[in-house]
Amino acid sequence: MNSMIQTVDLTKKFNDFVANDHINLDVKEQEIKCIVGENGAGKSTMMNMLYGLLQPTSGKILIRGKEVTLNSPVDAIANGIGMVHQHFKLVPSLTVYENILLGAEITQKKGGMKTPFIDQKEEIKRVEKLIQENHLELNATDKIEDISVGGRQRVEILKMLYRNVDILILDEPTAVLTPQEVDELIATLKNLKEQGKTIIVITHKLREVMELADSITVIKQGKVVGNVLKKDTSERELAQMMVGRDVVLTVNNERKQQIESEIMYKAENLTTVNDYGKEVVSDMSFEVHKGEILGIAGVEGNGQSELVKLMTGLMESTKGTVFFDGKDITNWWPEKLRKAGIGIIPEDRYAQGLCREMTVSDNCIAGYHGEKDVCKHGLFNKKTINAKRDKYIKEFDIRLGDVNGNIGNLSGGNAQKVIIARELSANPKLLIACQPTRGVDIGSIEFIHKQILKFRDAGNTVILISSELSEIMSLSDRVIVMYKGKISGEVSPKEVSMAAMGLLMAGIGKEEQDHEKER
């Protein structure tokens, strides 16, 4: 088969950070190619280059063997490449056909002359024909706001098909879909393939990959680590390729004292739904003992973010209770949680942890700005706040250009250190650390890991949520793995193999694993 789209040594650098490192991709005509990899592996960067949203630092993109330069999505569409984004770009108050033809409206013609009026009849006719040709379940005159999420995705696909693309890129298409809708999508995509389209799907859900793909490319840390055909591989092998890693972290995790029997944190049947009404955390129950680090692992998008939001008071549970230190803290506000002795390192540091446009010292007191030492009778004491900031800078080795400047000027690692300094200096009993080292340089990673261990060694409790498996494995005393909002297994990091972890992360539980061994 001929190559439809090829990349040769495609490289993208953001300053010093190499997001894509000499990627060689080869997608054949009329095949479904799945690109798998962890978040931050560089999948989206690569696709954005193929769709003209980003320009490569070096390397070439070839379409049907001819080199192309893609400066914008317009170029990409002209070259027959269409993309369906994870977050739909539709106008909810307009109908299906209006959305599809947005920017390409058909105008009425009177006696060979163009008029500025839209020919709605013709538009509906064309869109209906398109829907029929592709065997999609859609009504051209429905409003977007009235149709399901799966339907909206079909509209996005149609938008691209109307523009006659041959290559369709889908970014995490199943992230927002229900299982039934996922099945429908798979059927739709296979049908499109039959019609002669080439499809590239970015995902990290291995089951869907096995159902969908003809060939699979695994990307890790900006590099291609494997190119396999579906018929030659298994879910197990893919999981290993995705999570297997060579970076060995050097922190020394030797326990100095025993884990106490006292239960510090306990969740019972915790359940919640997301904005789309889909259950994203289902019946999760776990306990954390005093002086223990509990790691929560899992491929991203399996409910970890929502679990963290539940635990940190940013989302309400629909069911279940949470106990901390003997108190029922279900659905408490973040303010109350911090007062009760819970330190929070949030998942997205610039969304929930820091305010870029506020100064370093303002950020140093966030969440604790009502404490007596900085705020008396509602007025701040600038001196103590600045002293606090200087103390954090010294103790946590925060490197910054201008102490009076905004926090947005700090590098990722140093900004993260501000959060860690702030949360740990409040002397909490429990630390909920979510992706504490995401996007942080190696030096800072080690420093942050040491701080977390030091905190634990002082007899405190930590819940660590991370998609970095090595981080979970080297820091945790006990690990639970999440899959589709549920716990798929609990393991001891010293005893479990990477392969077994990979399976748990792919949703294949312990019993099933044993079962398979017996066979």
**Degrees to nearest 5, angle at CA 84 with 482 and 66:** 120
Contact call for residue 404 and other proteins (CB under 8 A): yes
Give min distance, CB of 317 to other proteins, in A.
17
Contact call for residue 369 and other proteins (CB under 8 A): yes
Q: Which is nearer to other proteins, 102 or 351 (CB)?
A: 351
Contact call for residue 316 and other proteins (CB under 8 A): no
Q: At what angle do helices 412-425 and 442-457 cross, to 10 degrees?
A: 10
Residues contacting other proteins: total by CB under 8 A: 34
Q: Segment contacting other proteins (CB under 8 A): 19-27, 144-152, 210-218, 366-374? A: 366-374
Contact call for residue 344 and other proteins (CB under 8 A): yes
What number of helices (H) and strands (E) belong to the chain?
17, 24
Give min distance, CB of 365 to other proteins, in A.
8
Amino acid at 330: T
Q: Segment contacting other proteins (CB under 8 A): 167-175, 345-353, 433-441, 468-476? A: 345-353
Query: How many whole angstroms separate alpha carbon 1 and alpha carbon 20?
Result: 27
Residue for token pair 């702030």: 422
Contact call for residue 382 and other proteins (CB under 8 A): yes
Strand partners, 434: 465
Contact call for residue 338 and other proteins (CB under 8 A): yes
Q: Which is nearer to other proteins, 35 or 400 (CB)?
A: 400
**Degrees to nearest 5, angle at CA 382 with 378 and 385:** 95
Give min distance, CB of 307 to other proteins, in A.
15
Q: Segment contacting other proteins (CB under 8 A): 73-81, 238-246, 373-381, 503-511? A: 373-381
Residue for token pair 């922190």: 251
| Cβ 199 vs Cβ 193: under 8 Å | yes
Task: Return the residue of 226, 334, 412, 509 that touches other proteins, per CB under 8 A.
Answer: 334
Give min distance, CB of 367 to other proteins, in A.
4
CA atoms within 13 A on the CB side of 21: 11
Task: Return the residue of 45, 352, 437, 488 that touches other proteins, per CB under 8 A.
Answer: 352
Q: Which is nearer to other proteins, 69 or 195 (CB)?
A: 69
| Cα-only R_g, the chain | 26
Q: Segment contacting other proteins (CB under 8 A): 264-272, 349-357, 389-397, 490-498? A: 349-357
Query: How many whole angstroms separate alpha carbon 417 and alpha carbon 419?
Result: 5
Query: How many whole angstroms separate alpha carbon 408 and alpha carbon 422?
Result: 16
Tokens, residue 61: 């993109």
Contact call for residue 346 and other proteins (CB under 8 A): yes
Contact call for residue 402 and other proteins (CB under 8 A): yes
Q: Segment contacting other proteins (CB under 8 A): 133-141, 183-191, 355-363, 494-502? A: 355-363
Contact call for residue 336 and other proteins (CB under 8 A): yes
Q: Which residues contact residue 317 at a Cβ distance below 8 angstroms, ignoring those fewer than 6 apart?
A: 270, 271, 272, 281, 310, 330, 331
Q: Which is nearer to other proteins, 205 or 389 (CB)?
A: 389
| Cβ 215 vs Cβ 229: under 8 Å | yes
Task: Return the residue of 65, 179, 405, 459 that touches other proteins, per CB under 8 A.
Answer: 405
Q: Which residues contact residue 342 at a Cβ distance below 8 angstroms, ignoring those fewer than 6 apart?
A: 312, 324, 428, 429, 430, 431, 432
Torsion of CA 326, 329, 334, 335, to 10 degrees: -70
Identify the H or E element spanning 149.
Answer: helix 149-162
Give min distance, CB of 311 to other proteins, in A.
12
Interface residues toward other proteins, by CB under 8 A: 312-314, 333-338, 344, 346, 351-358, 362, 366-367, 369-370, 375, 378-380, 382, 402, 404-406, 409
